[in-house]
A and B are shown apart, each in its own frame.
Chain A
Amino acid sequence: MKLTLTSLCIALALFPLHKAHASAPATLLDMPLESLMDMQVTTASRFAQKASQAPSAVSIVTAEDIRTHGWQSLAEILGSLRGLYLSDDHNYTYVGVRGFSPPGDYNNRILLLINGHRVNDSVYDQALVAHEFQIDTALIERVEFVPGPGSALYGSNALFGVINVITRQGADLQGYELAGGLGSHGERQRRATLGHKQEDGTDLLMSISQVRGDGQDWTFPGSGTASGVDGEQSDRFFASLEKGAWNLNVSYVNRKKQVPTGAYGTDFNDPANATTDGMGFVDLQYRAAANEKLEWSARLYYDQSWFTGTYVYSGVHNRDEAEGARWGGEWQAVSTQFDRHHLVFGLSYREDFTQDQRNFDVAPYASYLDSAHSARKYGLYLQDEWALTSALTASLGVRQDHHSRAGDFLSPRLALLWQAGENTMLKAIYGTAYRAPNVYEMYYTTADALPNPDLQPEEITTYELIAEHLDPRGIRLSAGLFQYRICDLITQKSEAGMLIFRNEPHAQANGLDLEAERLWSNGRRARVSYTLENTEDGSGNRLVNAPRHLFKALFSTPLFDTRLRLGTELLAFSQRRSLSGGHTAGFGIVNMNLAAERLLPGLEISLAIRNLLDKPYAVPAGSEQSVDALPQTGRSLRLNLAYRF
């Protein structure tokens, strides 16, 4: 479907913004403090906006960080975080956590949420993180990454971490914004946003954005050069409406990407090789307080997702299709009724009523797969943050899930938090999580892929020790030790030329995290992190696509009396093992962004350069590729303009 800006323009015309209201609150400012103190207050809801009430070493990225570093996709944001690494197969971008990013893993071990709403799809459990993600980075208020197993609160998929993307509100904009961008490889972006908050608290944000890109030419050893077959187009719409206790989110994305790599043995350099991924949801939330110490919220949602892949084999178009649809509801209560206890209790129900997959040749017609499935899931969870003493808090969480296909799961999580000194916090965490195999892993079959309906769920057990210290000079230090053990890891294998998913008995990751961050009062900021990840399978072999060392340094500073802001990042990774048993070399890339927010009133200009030094580098390829390593993007520039009025 073609998405244009016309619809938004019509909306803007129909919906004039009223900025000036003269009513009671104006006089509040003129009242003396004594009188104000006698006024009766309507309490605002105090629902925590945190991704997880459970303690962890949470990483937070704010809208300001995004502007400072010029990040244009969720993937670029995640790539800057401690311990995470990216791989791009020129179709999707994959996020590696704790040394896990095996081939065939469509980010399905990370739970991705938008304002608390699950967006991993119903067929692949896939978390889409680049231009196929639903939210334009300009609409992000903050991103919270909670590493570690999150099943005790969130159920399936939260194996390695939970990412919650919180969107901006109308009040943050209070007007209109038109934005456009041009970049290397024919990249064009445009966006129109309206934001408005009314006197009575009603808040509306609505945005439409488009990305178009021609991509670049890629040379793959043995295959040749793929030229003009790397195009991308992405259309997005997002809206949120908050009125009183109600909150409505509507989101839509449709993204088409040509696949230049000749994956799955398709005809190389044929422009028809492409995939289309789309998703949309409507989510309605209601929040209320029964009394001062008991608050609850309820959520009702409907999601739809679609995928079409076209693969050309000797001129014959093979079509791969998937369709997912689900609805669900959640109810959660937060109680502080009992002294020293902060209790969270919740129920959730989800019905994936469509989990369909088809694979067929268009002409001459031949069908290889036509499967329809559905699943029901319900869960029940309880978490208690219990202040044992003024310095010691225990966090106990447990969730019971029932999955109509995979069975029952109990996911406990225990943590101890010790305020060891005025500025020092120690945490010890034991966590568990699970992931039920998805319908793609169980039932997908074509001329070169086999199903495996006997796949078992994979389960993870983790132990973590974390120390955090805040130095009075404005320096934050953190160190963590972790051990992750996975049983029955679902892994894509190539057996006699056929792709199939199998349970690997064991895999394990041990490692440590170190991070230091400093914030200067003149606005300068630096964050440096190092992660050691040692990831092995049951026989002691290093996992594929798992760098042992990760180093990141981010620095930003205001320039010319804060008129300009410079953000730089250095991301460096050691070598990764590839499927053939070889290695892709370690590499370091530098990204830089220069942003001017106040050169002219309402105008924001930024210039971002990714891979500034044009470092050539490659990452291990999956078994569907004809090559062992995939080259990644070299130096690329992007110029962005945004005008607010």
Chain B
Amino acid sequence: MKTPNITGTIMRKFVSIAITTMLVFAVGVANGQGYTFRVLANKGQNKVKKEGAATPVALKTGATLSDGDQLIASQGAYIGLMHKSGKTLEVRTPGTKKVSDLAKMVNTKSASVSSRYAKFLASKMNEKEQPNYRQRLNATGAAKRALAGDEQIKALIPAEDASVLGDKAIVTWDVLDDMEENVFIVTVKNIFDEEIMKEEVTGNSVVLDFTSEQMQNEEGLWIINVRAKENQDVSSGDIAIKRPENPSQYAEGLSSLKAEVDEDSPLNKVIYASFYEENGLIVDALTAIEEAIQMNPDVEDFKILKKDIIERNGIKVYEETE
């Protein structure tokens, strides 16, 4: 009869436990990569504001992004991101995006073959043609040699998620250098496409008072359009401003700021602008900085600060000569 080799058994168990521990550790290291996204490709003047940093920096291909960072996509941006799971995500709309929010959009789970096939068959069965010829006239048989009307007036508001907290907003816009029109018609519509305000303005800004009777709006959404008075084809296109989803979240910070800083000096306006921008309230930030400019029109620094806010938030990229 063969005697069991106890030492050998213990050794085998020890080696087995050691290997298992090493494997678990190795998997842990592999999964615990210290970033949320890595930039695969980067088109446009995009920036990233690292967690705790005061100012954003240019986004580099290959750079890593962590949960606390903010991605600032410029107009026309196309950013390819790779999640730590290896799955990819594209950012093609301008504006500031929290990396943590982007991470929620990544689907790290794989769908089964059956569900993908069933989904495909279902989508094919539900595919609808557009029988109405009126819905298929989006393309022209012509080439473009000038900017379209919607591109000739650039309203300086984020194209997406433009939230406003204050009772008042100063909306400004840029026009092409060779544009002679200086008189504009500003219209504001509600969510039902009803015109609730119309104003003729001279110059490149309008003050919107959300407390006025005509602007009262239960839905908290205003659709703004700026057109040249003499040429109605030249317009900004429709841009929406809305109330933030949870205004109370800003109350504490704003009240403590108000307790310490008055709103009556241009420099203090800059401080308010900074507060609003940090909280993603870009319309309020631009309003505050515009007020500072109007109080002291000769101070170039305020104008530069305004341009910085505009660029940082992907509203417009200024040429260096501007």
Query: Does B associate with A?
Result: no
B interface list, Cβ under 8 A from A: none
A interface list, Cβ under 8 A from B: none
